[in-house]
A and B are shown apart, each in its own frame.
Chain A
């Protein structure tokens, strides 16, 4: 009798985490504090129990993070005694660039991608766990669970190492590193079912609540602090988030789903894919692949 679906996915992820810890010199877990990160942390705690996860957790903080997310991060770190590394852009760049004034490309590169690359290089990490899933996006569907990055953090989709059985080639040359995706074979719904089954604590923003919102460019933006440029008055709406990024750039949507079971019911009836914004605006669906080649996680 084979393992049930979620048990098989859990075992596969734990096996991969242990392989990385056994073979790599200095692994790190990239940790956005979102729902996929919450599952990753839970798996890491299970994999190495009773010891704590034998690697640090790296959070890239843009300075425009939701206050609830930072609070959840710090509470989680304290609860589990995690080794947390916070990566941020230099103060002068953070002062110069805001999500309201800079283009989204410049914003993401300066406040997110560059600090990530700098932190990976500074600490000499040779393996970085990420929560990426193959169902998220068409380019990801072809990525290996262990994916080699060149010294300049580039990915070459046409020259990936074959990955057979559950044997992972984690050998890196000087400056090279591996990106490791233990949730590769999970779907978004699997993540929610697992959160429900295991009772995993998540940032409350995923659950519907009355929040002060404004409409910007067709999206509902939750006003998280007083840096919002003046304009329309915020309106209280019952909303929640499907993914979490920087608050001025992440759209909420109207929902009544205030607990995990309701979220799953809503998800099961979902009519929109997770990265809906990207799929609609780039048409060719090639932008993610271009970003990945350039080192975007």
Chain B
């Protein structure tokens, strides 16, 4: 029979007798070599006490000096049916980062409580952190039962209190077991000292717990680690299967490109393999020659993961140097590495009380929720669905230290990229059919500056030249697409964003787009510029002094704004940020609308096709 593997984390402080309990598990499961036991006994003989099993798990010299565990230590033991990897984590606050590290790979958590003390603040902290990292199975080991006379009542009270805590944290699978690391009661065998307890021993619980193992879900997820070229020129994709299974002939989609193909072969050192499943490291080839590189994800065609570049995530800060909002960090998720910037945290979590507190940044051991943006789209899944495609680390670009761990909640709605379907007809093909180079002429200027007048003239000239164009007029769009928007700052930004996206689609279709909107804020115009390929966004500043525009007042709006009938009117009670470096600058008090339109068309033609 093949043995299974269970990874678990032990949480508790030195006062809870954690090292003794782990030492007891190692000892009673027969995982301690005779010479180590002899050492313990020699030590005990010298001090005149019983062998101290906690010495089996003590590690670094620095920690022995302090008498505490200061880092994650890994222990190994096994029984006939199962191998165990134990992440032994310290309990005190300053080492939250170590606990998070240990919990990241654990199937379940063993939480230690001193029977004579009961639940402590740290119990909530440990349970919260484990749940945060996705552990839903917990064993409460009520230790030091010898100190309460092996009595049932104190155990029941602690178990009930923990059940309430677990329920409040949405932890669904909880067992409690009364133990004594010192005497070994209920650690590997039921104890006659506690006949009232009929449940399984701690070891029996560990032997029967369900490993999280590979991630749930039947749909293939295979992040590509590297690509190698076989002697026949075929590209072989190497990676570890996160979820699902793979067989030759399976239809797959390569993300983020969205291109589809089929699995051709699964290479093995002893010949091709008929299938492979979650958890395995594989090398596969595809039926078609597709561009593929490290960071791509091979997925089932039926249910593909999402792609986005803005997220909300829980962030655990792990470095002495606090988060710098707005600074670029390396973000590593599965096999993808991108640059990420964080916004100020929405809140930080007090893990002792569950309170959400306001914060401007994240310091060492802080756990907060923040939005982040990446410089390239990420193929991802929420952490609740996939540890591998939802968990990431942040690395400081200068110090190269791992400064934070993060767990994605969801993509922000504005960033979700649902158009991952690859388009076979390209932008270039469409443009060449029209024999023109697409562009977005973005007219900005205060109300009444002459944007619409000049824009209309430009479009007439383009039509005469046989060029395909379309005029997006701010006022007209507010009657249709944007009729739900008002003039608050948020609505103005959304107004620009929508027009920008429409302009982008039209340019993609091969058109020369003329957009005429006040667009008073530089940041919004920069946002639209960033949507388009370099050189395709042409900012046209229609520069008319406010006094002149107000004098013209073709729609009577200035008069109404002055009278207080219109709020947030640009130039009156809302600012206009003039472009600092527009591609084309039209000063309407010095140049006629006709001359301006000619100059703009000349600029377009000079760009070539």
Q: How far is the CA of A2 from the CA of B82 in the complex (A)?
A: 12
Q: Which of B2, B59, B267, B294 is the one whose CB lies under 8 Å from A142?
A: B59
Contact indicator B60/A157 (Cβ below 8 Å): yes
Contact indicator A161/B33 (Cβ below 8 Å): no
Q: How far is the CA of A158 from the CA of B60 in the complex (A)?
A: 9
For A10, A139, A161, A164, which residue has the most chain B Cβ atoms within 10 angstroms? A164
Q: Which of A5, A11, A172, A271 is the one whose CB lies under 8 Å from B400?
A: A172
Contact indicator A22/B226 (Cβ below 8 Å): yes
The segment out of A41-49, A67-75, A229-237 that lies at the interface is A41-49
Q: How far is the CA of A276 from the CA of B391 in the complex (A)?
A: 40
- CB neighbours (8 Å) of A135 from chain B are 76
Q: Which of A18, A190, A276 is the one whose CB lies under 8 Å from B238?
A: A18
For A19, A167, A270, A286, which residue has the most chain B Cβ atoms within 10 angstroms? A167
Contact indicator B5/A3 (Cβ below 8 Å): yes
Contact indicator B230/A50 (Cβ below 8 Å): yes
| B581 at interface by CB-CB < 8 Å | no
Contact indicator B225/A18 (Cβ below 8 Å): yes
| B252 at interface by CB-CB < 8 Å | no
The segment out of B142-150, B170-178, B277-285, B529-537 that lies at the interface is B277-285
| A96 at interface by CB-CB < 8 Å | no
Contact indicator A3/B280 (Cβ below 8 Å): yes
Give the contacts of A134-176 with B (CB-CB under 8 A).
134-135, 138-139, 141-142, 157-158, 160-167, 169, 171-173
Residue of A nearest to B295 (CB): A22
Contact indicator B225/A19 (Cβ below 8 Å): yes
| A261 at interface by CB-CB < 8 Å | no
Contact status of A185 and B85, CB under 8 A, knowing A5-B2, A11-B240, A167-B392 = yes
Contact indicator B281/A47 (Cβ below 8 Å): yes
Give the contacts of B61-78 with A (CB-CB under 8 A).
61-62, 64, 70-76, 78
- CB neighbours (8 Å) of A272 from chain B are 33-35
Contact status of A134 and B74, CB under 8 A, knowing A162-B97, A162-B98, A271-B34 = yes
Contact indicator A4/B4 (Cβ below 8 Å): yes
Residue of A nearest to B77 (CB): A187
| A79 at interface by CB-CB < 8 Å | no
- CB neighbours (8 Å) of B393 from chain A are 162, 164, 167, 169
Contact indicator A142/B281 (Cβ below 8 Å): no
For A51, A171, A185, A270, which residue has the most chain B Cβ atoms within 10 angstroms? A171
Give the contacts of B360-402 with A (CB-CB under 8 A).
387-388, 391-393, 395, 400-402
| B413 at interface by CB-CB < 8 Å | no
- CB neighbours (8 Å) of B230 from chain A are 50
Q: Which of A4, A45, A169 is the one whose CB lies under 8 Å from B3?
A: A4
Per-residue interface assignment for chain A, residues 6 to 37, with 1 indicating a CB less than 8 Å from any chain B CB and 0 otherwise? 11111100110011011000000000000000
Per-residue interface assignment for chain B, residues 93 to 117, with 1 indicating a CB less than 8 Å from any chain A CB and 0 otherwise? 0000110110011000000000000
Q: Which of B78, B279, B391, B402 is the one whose CB lies under 8 Å from A162?
A: B402
| A95 at interface by CB-CB < 8 Å | no
- CB neighbours (8 Å) of A273 from chain B are 33, 35-36
Contact indicator A49/B283 (Cβ below 8 Å): yes
- CB neighbours (8 Å) of B3 from chain A are 4-5
Q: How far is the CA of A290 from the CA of B333 in the complex (A)?
A: 35
Closest beta carbon of chain B to A250's beta carbon, Å? 17
- CB neighbours (8 Å) of B85 from chain A are 185
| A289 at interface by CB-CB < 8 Å | yes
Interface of chain A, helix or strand or loop or mixed? loop
Q: Which of A2, A173, A290 is the one whose CB lies under 8 Å from B279?
A: A2
Q: How far is the CA of A172 from the CA of B401 in the complex (A)?
A: 10
Residue of A nearest to B387 (CB): A165
In this complex, the interface size class of chain B, counting residues with CB under 8 Å from chain A, is 35 or more
Per-residue interface assignment for chain B, residues 264 to 290, with 1 indicating a CB less than 8 Å from any chain A CB and 0 otherwise? 000111000000011111010000000
Contact indicator A158/B62 (Cβ below 8 Å): yes
Closest beta carbon of chain B to A131's beta carbon, Å? 16
Residue of A nearest to B56 (CB): A138
Q: How far is the CA of A164 from the CA of B133 in the complex (A)?
A: 10
Q: How far is the CA of A58 from the CA of B197 in the complex (A)?
A: 57
Contact indicator A169/B238 (Cβ below 8 Å): no
| A294 at interface by CB-CB < 8 Å | no
| B206 at interface by CB-CB < 8 Å | no
Closest beta carbon of chain A to B378's beta carbon, Å? 14
Closest beta carbon of chain A to B79's beta carbon, Å? 12
Contact indicator B60/A5 (Cβ below 8 Å): no
Q: How far is the CA of A201 from the CA of B391 in the complex (A)?
A: 39
Contact indicator A22/B225 (Cβ below 8 Å): yes
- CB neighbours (8 Å) of B211 from chain A are 2
Contact indicator B228/A48 (Cβ below 8 Å): yes
Q: Which of A7, A15, A158, A164 is the one whose CB lies under 8 Å from B100?
A: A164
Q: How far is the CA of A66 from the CA of B268 in the complex (A)?
A: 34
Residue of A nearest to B404 (CB): A162
| A113 at interface by CB-CB < 8 Å | no
Contact indicator B59/A139 (Cβ below 8 Å): yes
| B243 at interface by CB-CB < 8 Å | no
Closest beta carbon of chain A to B320's beta carbon, Å? 10
Contact indicator A271/B281 (Cβ below 8 Å): no
Closest beta carbon of chain A to B601's beta carbon, Å? 50
Q: How far is the CA of A142 from the CA of B63 in the complex (A)?
A: 11
Q: How far is the CA of A67 from the CA of B454 in the complex (A)?
A: 90
Contact indicator B73/A142 (Cβ below 8 Å): yes
Contact status of A169 and B332, CB under 8 A, knowing A5-B5, A7-B279, A163-B101 = yes
Closest beta carbon of chain A to B453's beta carbon, Å? 56
Contact indicator B280/A11 (Cβ below 8 Å): yes
12 A–B pairs (Cβ distance < 8 Å), ordered by A: A5-B83, A7-B280, A18-B225, A139-B59, A158-B60, A158-B70, A164-B100, A165-B391, A172-B400, A279-B39, A280-B35, A286-B61
Residues of A participating in the B interface, judged by any CB pair closer than 8 Å: 1-11, 14-15, 18-19, 21-22, 45-51, 134-135, 138-139, 141-142, 157-158, 160-167, 169, 171-173, 184-185, 187, 189-190, 270-273, 276, 279-280, 283-284, 286, 289-290
Name 5 extra pairs, CB < 8 A, besides A46-B269, A273-B36.
A2-B214, A138-B58, A157-B62, A162-B405, A167-B392
